[in-house]
Structure formats: structure tokens, C-alpha cells
């Protein structure tokens, strides 16, 4: 198949437990890719093939699957919903052309749905909305569409209406064709009948159909005027064309509903993928950038006739060796080709290429623009690297990953596993850019850093099961930061005279607090050449190099501005090294005087609790130094939103379950850094000093 208009690269994303993996299973069943359905809650689904996924009933890695529907090829990626694995969603969205946002009929728009929706907006991915689990108690299609408008600020374009509510949900009415589809109780997707609209729904159907057509026609003014003035309804082809265009340009999102678990309403979603989601050629092409990541004004046009341009978006290590998942934007790729990695500047030969079906694979010899494939055995490729034709070097827009907020110290139980652990962690870091590792130089401990307790918990579990390395795990540590609160003007001279040429550098500088999230900024306002320009980079390097260790407890320093306004140099003894040492000395001398302050990571916490426990939950969050931001009553309980310091959230799930008799749930993600209260600050600094002393 080479006709790109018949390709759909789509992802399925949503909050944890909204039913993404089950939806993927149903798509595979309907497209004839699998014959027996595996259920997530029984640990048997196709795309959740890791042991940890099957056990916990959650998706950890995004899995890729290819299938066919009505002559169109779908490359489907099932992504995780858990906030600790958001990176999987982010990097999948980067390489997709369209998506299906799944929302739970009773849970509605949940916090992780917001994050994923925001990522999809940033990546400008066209989406359909599927409101799932309409057979559950408390499910309400119209409430969810209202939340999509309010919370996500998106326009849902209602395409179907549900027939029946909760356990009486039997099917849907397709508004465009005015046809009702009713499924029987066998639970088989193909057992449905197309009937007339139930009499009690006729008025609603006409009202929503009118809204649907009016919204769709906003894309084409001529058709809209004709419709409003003369009342003539455009042809079905025209309406579909308008919906397709509005979906592609993110003006609205066609919205469907059903129950993936009970196999109701899925066919219409697949038809909508074909009808309304863009093919690879209809999406705005990716920007090409220079080495610094600035757009060059050129685009990666999706066409098999262009030079090869592809993005490695995921590395996975499995029993067959290292797999590099690649989205090909333009050009062709054949087995045996030599390709250039523009990040490392090295070429590699393509040995084996495979088309992925979750954990299985089909060998292929040829792939082209629009394909998502995996290459076996690439050596030096990492997530976000561009692979291209050696004669046409280029760089695709890179991916930006969030910094880890939590760390744990680990060591192997037996000394013999040290090397084994090193190799295993190396592979895991290549697979997951938000999982980082470093060795504490003084104590020799290995520090693992990640996005949350669950993230690190699963990494430790993978090390144990997949790689056979048992670890002793220390207490979780929070990634504190430091900053300053007072501006200060100071001077520092570095001079050293000991026979031969000496070293001399004098700098006069101001250090002041920068704006939030501005990082480190260096400026120079020296006039009259008292410090020659060629020494500015060395001075900046000296200050920047010291930012990794603050004056209070040795944590990295954020948001500081340094201004060099005067100084002096010696014609013979001054050198770049002398000025760099002067800047380092200046940092040590002045930072303790600039009102240093400890910052702690604050998490955006979203707690769901039954109504009778709201008071306990809020009281508990207040005790954890939380700021309550919002409360939202739903049908089955209340959602409490708060900002809480990460250090107070360890082990929270256990407390929440005890307080709410096991019915509470929560999710959290990093929000920002904020100043630590004095009592917390003193304790953290004392602990840091004790650790240093012990070493």
C-alpha cells in the first residue's frame, strides 16, 4: 500500500482508567487483527504485555499496532494514562497525525485528561472524542461534553446521541444519517441492528442535528449562508468535507459515545477516523531546525519522493534486542540502507525493520513516508534523534522532557550484581528520558530520579524481574532547589604570583533574584574596556558552573541574574582561566550574603473522594501544608484540587484509602517551585549537612 491518503496514524489517550486499552482491544477485534478479546482487568490485553502492566491493570509503555478498516491502514498507539508516564503520551503525540481522546462517562474530564489534552494542543493533533463507559452508574454523556467545553476550553461537535442511560444504555443514534444502532446483549460488536430513531428522541435528534450542521458549516461561509437564508441542506459529502476541515484545523472535535467493554458504538468511531481524521499528507509538515533547535523555515514535507527524514520517538529493549521506534516523515527506507543520525553525526546501516503488533512483529523490507515502524539493533540512537539521508542532512524539531522531581538511593543486595545493575539501568535510561540516574561521588550510592513514586516503584520492579537485580531501596528524596532573595553588589579579585606568569582577574558585579523559572542569566554593562570582551564567556562559565550547588544545602540554584559592571585586568597575567576562577570565588563569597532560600517542588494534586469523607480529606491536605484551590461535586463524589508540597505526599495513597474506606483516588503532577517555610528549611539543611559530614 503506497497511497498516503489511506493512512491514519492515531493515538488513544486519556486519564487512567477511562478505558483506553479496552478501546484499543475493540479496535483490533473489529479490524480482524485479533480474534479473542483480552480484558485489561484480567491482565490479558494485547497492548499491555509487560508483566507489571498485566498485574496492575495499567498501561506503562505506549504500544504500537497496525490494522486495517475499510481499506485504510491504521497505525494505532495505546498510551498510558498515569501521570508518572506522561512522557509516553507526549512523545507519542509528537509523531501522530490524529488522536482519540477517551473520557469516562461517569468520571468526566479528569486531571490527566487535561494534561494530555494540553500536550495534544501543543502538538496540534486533530482529535475525536469518545465518551466511554456509558453503561456505568452515574454516566452522563451531556455532562461530559459540558466539561469538555468548560475545563478543556474545546468545542465538542456532537455526532451521536446515546439511547438509554446507565444500565439501560443499548446503542446510539447517528445524527447525520438519522439512523439508530442498537446492540443486543450478547456483547458481540457485530450483533447490532439499524432501526428507526426511538419516538421519544425525535425532537432531540433534530435539535442536535441542526446544531451539528450549523457548526460544521462555519468552515464554509457560502454553504452556511445558503443554509441559513434558504434552508437548503448541503449534500452529505459537503457536510463531511466541512467536518473534516474543522477537525483538521482544531476548530471542533467530533464527539462519539458508547461502551468499549460492552462493544457498543465502536464502529462509528472507526468510521469517523476514516472520515474526519487527517492522513499524513494533510497535517502541517514538521519544522526542520538547526543544531540549536531554531526553525530554519524549511519543512519536512510528507512524500515518498523527498529525501529521507525520520524521528526516533521511543527506544525499547526486549527479548529480540534493542528496538528503535521511528516515524518516517518523508522519503523511503529499505533494508540495508545507510542512514545518518544528525544528532551524533554518525551513520548506521539498517539491518532489520519490523512492523509492530504490540509484542509481536512482522519483518518488512521497505517503509515510506507516513509509516511508523521499528528498526532492530540501532547502536547510538536515542529518543528525539533525527535519522536522515546522509546526502541531505537535517534536524527535526526535538522533544523537550520534564525534569524529574523525586529520587531514591539504591544499591544491589549482593556485590556481584553491580555491573549487571549498571548495564540494566543504562538500557532503561535510553528507553525513558524522564528516568535519570547519577552516582553520588562522595558515598558511591546510585541515585535514581523519576516523575513520582509509582514511576520509580515500577523501575525497581523491572530491574528485579526483567534483569534479575535485587535492590535495597532508600527513602525517597525530594529534588529541592535554592535561590536568593536580596540583590547584592560586590567585588572579587583573584591573583596568584609564584614565579613565571601569574594569574590576575578582578570583577565588580551585581547578583539579584531573577524572575520565576528564568534560570540563570548573565549580562555585562562594562564600559571603557576595564574587562576585555574576550573574558566575558569565561566569567559567565564560572558563575554558571557554580549554579549546580547552592550555598545552603548544596542543591541546584534557580532564577539568579548576574550583571558584570566593572573590573580590572593585567596585560600579562590575565587569562580566561583567571577570570573563570574569579567568578567561582565571587559566587562563593556573595551567594551566602544574598539571602539564600530553599525552594521545594509543589504538586498539583487532584483527589476524588465520596461526599461523606470530604471534610477528612480537606483537613488532611491542610495538615500536609496544602492550599485548597477548588472543589467540584460530581454524581458519585467530590473532586478536591489543591497545591501540596511533594515532601508531604509520600505514601499518601495509603492514608487516602484508610480515610475513604478504600474508595478515594488521587493523581498529582509537578506544578512549580515555591519557598520552603523556615522550619522545613532548617530540617532539610541540617539533614544535608549531616549527610556531608557522614561522608
Examine the domain organization and report whether 391 and 322 are in the same domain: yes
Question: Does residue 449 belong to any structural domain of this protein?
Answer: yes
pLDDT recorded at residue 90 = 67
C-alpha cell belonging to residue 200: 421519544
Question: Are the CB atoms for 388 and 342 separated by under 8 Å?
Answer: yes
| CA 104/CA 141 separation, integer angstroms | 9
| CA 342/CA 330 separation, integer angstroms | 15
DSSP 259: B
pLDDT recorded at residue 499 = 63
When pLDDT is averaged across residues 389-393 and rounded to a whole number, the result is: 82
Q: Is 251 exposed, middle or buried (0-12, 13-18, 19+ CB in 10 A)?
A: middle
Supply the CATH number for residue 435's domain: 3.30.70.870
Give the least confident one: 92-96, 111-115, 218-222, 323-327: 111-115
Q: What is the CA radius of gyration of the chain?
A: 29
| CA 198/CA 556 separation, integer angstroms | 65
Question: Does residue 423 belong to any structural domain of this protein?
Answer: yes
Q: Which residue has the cell 513514586?
A: 453
Examine the domain organization and report whether 153 and 103 are in the same domain: yes
Question: Does residue 152 belong to any structural domain of this protein?
Answer: yes
pLDDT more than 90, % of the chain: 16
| CA 656/CA 207 separation, integer angstroms | 44
Nearest to 14 by CA among 135, 125, 132, 169: 132
How sure is the predictor about 81, in pLDDT bands with cuts at 50, 70 and 90?
A: very low
Give the residue, 543 or 369, on which the prediction is more confident. 543
Supply the CATH number for residue 8's domain: 3.40.50.300
Question: Are the CB atoms for 337 and 318 separated by under 8 Å?
Answer: no
pLDDT digits (tens, 9 = 90+) for 217-243: 888 888 888 888 887 788 889 889 999
pLDDT recorded at residue 45 = 43
Q: How far is CA 203 from the centre of its chain?
A: 42
Question: Does residue 243 belong to any structural domain of this protein?
Answer: no
C-alpha cell belonging to residue 321: 534486542
Residue 644 has pLDDT above 80, yes or no: yes
In this structure, the strands spanning 126-132 and 253-257 are parallel
Supply the CATH number for residue 663's domain: 3.30.70.240
CB atoms within 10 A of CB 189: 18
Q: Provide the CB-side half-sphere exposure for 270 (13 A, CA).
A: 27
Examine the domain organization and report whether 470 and 489 are in the same domain: no
Give the residue, 552 or 637, on which the prediction is more confident. 552
Supply the CATH number for residue 491's domain: 3.30.230.10
Examine the domain organization and report whether 159 and 278 are in the same domain: yes
pLDDT recorded at residue 543 = 93
Query: Which residues, other chains included, contact 686 with Cβ-Cβ below 8 Å and sequence gap of 6+?
Result: none
Examine the domain organization and report whether 567 and 515 are in the same domain: yes
When pLDDT is averaged across residues 456-477 and rounded to a whole number, the result is: 79
pLDDT recorded at residue 623 = 92
Among 570, 594, 618, residue at a domain's last position:
594
How sure is the predictor about 83, in pLDDT bands with cuts at 50, 70 and 90?
A: very low
Sign of CA dihedral 586, 592, 596, 601: positive
| CA 315/CA 322 separation, integer angstroms | 7
Q: Which residues form the domain of 516?
A: 483-594
pLDDT recorded at residue 67 = 76
When pLDDT is averaged across residues 153-167 and rounded to a whole number, the result is: 86
Q: Which residues pair with 605 in a beta bridge?
A: 642, 668
Residue 196 has pLDDT above 70, yes or no: yes
| CA 332/CA 366 separation, integer angstroms | 7
When pLDDT is averaged across residues 471-494 and rounded to a whole number, the result is: 87
Examine the domain organization and report whether 121 and 142 are in the same domain: yes
pLDDT recorded at residue 508 = 93
pLDDT digits (tens, 9 = 90+) for 533-546: 899 999 999 999 99
Give the residue, 357 or 564, on which the prediction is more confident. 564
Examine the domain organization and report whether 274 and 336 are in the same domain: no
DSSP 162: E
Question: Does residue 42 belong to any structural domain of this protein?
Answer: yes
Examine the domain organization and report whether 434 and 361 are in the same domain: no
pLDDT digits (tens, 9 = 90+) for 46-66: 444 344 444 444 433 445 677
Give the C-alpha distances (Å, rounded to integers) separating 520 from 292, 403, 439.
Answer: 18, 16, 25
How sure is the predictor about 80, in pLDDT bands with cuts at 50, 70 and 90?
A: low
Nearest to 490 by CA among 512, 510, 506: 510
Question: Does residue 356 belong to any structural domain of this protein?
Answer: yes
Examine the domain organization and report whether 303 and 434 are in the same domain: no
pLDDT digits (tens, 9 = 90+) for 13-49: 765 565 656 766 667 666 665 444 444 433 444 444 3
Among 375, 396, 417, residue at a domain's last position:
396
In this structure, the strands spanning 253-257 and 160-163 are unpaired
pLDDT digits (tens, 9 = 90+) for 300-359: 677 778 888 888 877 776 666 677 888 888 888 888 888 888 888 888 888 888 876 545
Instruction: Give the torsion through C-alpha atoms of 357, 362, 366, 371, to 10 deg.
Output: 0
pLDDT digits (tens, 9 = 90+) for 587-617: 999 999 999 999 998 988 888 888 888 999 9
Residue 557 is inside which H or E element, if any?
Answer: none
Examine the domain organization and report whether 44 and 186 are in the same domain: yes
Residue 569 has pLDDT above 80, yes or no: yes
* Average pLDDT value for the chain: 80
Question: Are the CB atoms for 454 and 420 separated by under 8 Å?
Answer: no
Question: Does residue 632 belong to any structural domain of this protein?
Answer: yes
Examine the domain organization and report whether 322 and 178 are in the same domain: no
- Total structural domains within the chain: 5
Examine the domain organization and report whether 487 and 474 are in the same domain: no
Question: Does residue 695 belong to any structural domain of this protein?
Answer: no
pLDDT recorded at residue 294 = 64
Instruction: Give the torsion through C-alpha atoms of 584, 409, 427, 417, to 10 deg.
Output: 120
pLDDT digits (tens, 9 = 90+) for 613-631: 899 999 999 999 999 998 8
Helix axes 141-152, 111-122, angle to 10 degrees: 60
Among 534, 563, 594, residue at a domain's last position:
594
How sure is the predictor about 187, in pLDDT bands with cuts at 50, 70 and 90?
A: low
Query: Which residues, other chains included, contact 409 with Cβ-Cβ below 8 Å and sequence gap of 6+?
Result: 440, 443, 445, 446, 447, 448, 473, 474, 477
Amino acid at each position: 500500500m503506497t497511497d498516503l491518503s489511506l493512512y491514519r496514524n492515531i493515538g488513544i489517550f486519556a486519564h487512567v482508567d477511562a478505558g483506553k486499552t479496552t478501546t484499543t482491544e475493540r479496535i483490533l477485534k473489529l479490524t480482524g487483527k485479533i480474534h479473542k478479546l483480552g480484558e485489561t482487568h484480567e491482565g490479558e490485553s494485547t497492548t499491555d504485555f509487560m508483566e507489571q502492566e498485566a498485574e496492575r491493570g495499567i498501561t506503562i509503555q505506549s504500544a504500537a499496532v497496525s490494522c486495517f478498516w475499510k481499506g485504510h491502514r491504521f497505525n494505532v498507539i495505546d498510551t498510558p494514562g498515569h501521570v508518572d508516564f506522561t512522557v509516553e503520551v507526549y512523545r507519542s503525540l509528537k509523531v501522530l497525525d490524529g488522536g482519540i481522546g477517551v473520557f469516562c462517562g461517569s468520571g468526566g474530564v479528569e486531571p490527566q485528561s487535561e494534561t494530555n489534552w494540553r500536550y495534544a494542543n501543543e502538538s496540534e493533533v486533530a482529535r475525536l472524542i469518545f465518551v466511554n463507559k456509558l453503561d456505568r452508574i452515574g454516566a452522563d454523556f451531556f455532562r461530559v461534553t459540558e466539561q469538555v467545553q468548560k475545563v478543556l476550553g474545546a468545542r465538542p461537535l456532537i455526532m451521536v446521541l446515546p439511547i438509554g442511560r446507565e444500565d439501560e444504555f443499548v446503542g446510539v443514534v447517528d445524527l447525520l444519517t438519522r439512523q439508530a444502532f442498537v446492540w443486543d446483549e450478547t456483547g458481540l460488536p457485530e450483533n447490532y441492528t439499524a432501526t428507526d430513531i426511538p419516538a421519544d428522541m425525535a425532537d432531540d435528534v433534530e435539535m442536535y442535528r441542526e446544531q451539528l450542521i450549523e457548526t460544521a458549516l462555519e468552515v464554509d461561509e457560502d454553504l452556511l449562508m445558503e443554509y441559513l437564508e434558504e434552508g437548503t441542506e448541503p449534500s452529505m459529502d459537503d457536510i463531511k468535507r466541512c467536518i473534516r476541515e474543522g477537525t483538521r484545523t482544531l476548530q471542533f472535535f467530533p464527539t462519539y459515545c458508547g461502551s468499549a467493554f460492552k462493544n457498543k458504538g465502536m464502529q462509528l468511531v472507526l468510521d469517523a477516523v476514516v472520515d474526519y481524521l487527517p492522513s499524513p499528507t494533510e497535517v502541517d509538515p514538521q519544522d526542520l531546525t538547526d543544531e540549536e533547535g531554531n526553525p530554519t523555515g524549511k519543512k519536512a514535507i510528507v512524500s515518498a519522493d523527498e529525501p529521507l527524514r525520520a524521528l526516533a520517538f521511543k527506544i525499547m529493549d526486549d527479548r529480540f534486542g534493542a528496538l528503535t521506534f521511528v516515524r518516517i516523515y518523508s522519503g523511503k527506507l529499505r533494508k540495508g540502507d545507510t542512514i545518518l543520525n544528525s544528532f551524533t553525526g554518525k551513520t548506521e546501516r539498517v539491518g532489520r525493520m519490523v512492523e509492530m503488533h504490540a509484542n509481536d512483529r512482522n519483518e518488512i523490507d521497505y517503509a515510506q513516508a507516513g509509516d511508523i515502524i521499528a528498526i532492530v539493533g540501532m547502536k547510538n540512537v536515542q529518543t528525539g534523534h533525527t535519522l536522515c539521508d546522509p546526502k541531505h542532512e537535517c534536524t527535526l524539531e526535538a522533544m523537550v522532557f520534564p525534569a524529574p522531581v523525586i529520587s531514591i538511593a539504591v544499591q544491589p543486595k549482593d556485590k556481584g550484581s553491580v555491573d549487571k545493575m549498571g548495564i540494566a539501568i543504562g538500557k532503561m535510561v535510553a528507553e525513558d528520558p524522564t528516568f535519570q540516574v547519577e552516582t553520588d561521588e562522595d558515598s558511591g550510592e546510585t541515585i535514581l530520579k523519576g516523575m513520582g513514586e509509582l514511576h520509580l516503584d515500577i523501575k525497581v520492579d523491572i530491574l528485579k524481574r526483567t534483569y534479575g537485580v535485587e535492590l535495597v531501596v532508600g527513602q525517597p528524596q525530594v529534588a529541592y532547589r535554592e535561590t536568593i532573595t536580596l540583590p547584592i553588589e560586590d567585588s572579587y579579585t583573584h591573583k596568584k604570583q609564584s614565579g613565571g606568569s601569574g594569574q590576575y582577574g578582578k570583577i565588580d558585579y551585581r547578583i539579584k533574584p531573577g524572575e520565576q523559572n528564568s534560570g540563570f542569566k548573565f549580562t555585562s554593562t562594562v564600559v571603557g574596556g576595564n574587562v576585555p570582551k574576550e573574558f566575558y564567556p569565561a566569567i559567565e562559565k564560572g558563575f554558571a558552573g557554580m549554579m549546580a550547588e547552592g550555598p545552603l544545602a548544596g542543591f541546584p540554584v534557580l532564577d539568579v541574574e548576574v550583571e558584570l559592571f566593572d573590573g580590572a585586568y593585567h596585560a600579562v597575567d590575565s587569562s580566561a582561566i583567571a577570570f573563570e576562577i574569579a567568578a567561582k570565588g565571587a559566587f562563593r563569597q556573595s551567594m551566602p550574603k544574598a539571602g539564600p532560600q530553599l525552594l521545594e517542588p509543589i504538586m498539583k494534586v487532584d483527589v476524588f473522594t465520596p461526599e461523606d469523607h470530604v471534610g477528612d480529606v480537606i483537613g488532611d491536605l491542610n495538615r500536609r501544608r496544602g492550599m485548597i484551590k477548588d472543589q467540584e461535586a460530581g454524581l458519585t463524589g467530590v473532586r478536591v484540587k489543591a497545591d501540596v508540597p511533594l515532601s508531604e505526599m509520600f505514601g499518601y495513597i495509603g492514608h487516602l484509602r484508610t480515610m475513604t474506606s478504600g474508595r478515594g483516588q488521587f493523581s498529582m503532577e509537578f506544578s512549580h517551585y515555591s519557598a520552603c517555610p523556615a522550619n522545613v528549611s532548617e530540617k532539610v539543611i541540617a539533614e544535608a549537612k549531616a549527610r556531608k559530614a557522614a561522608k
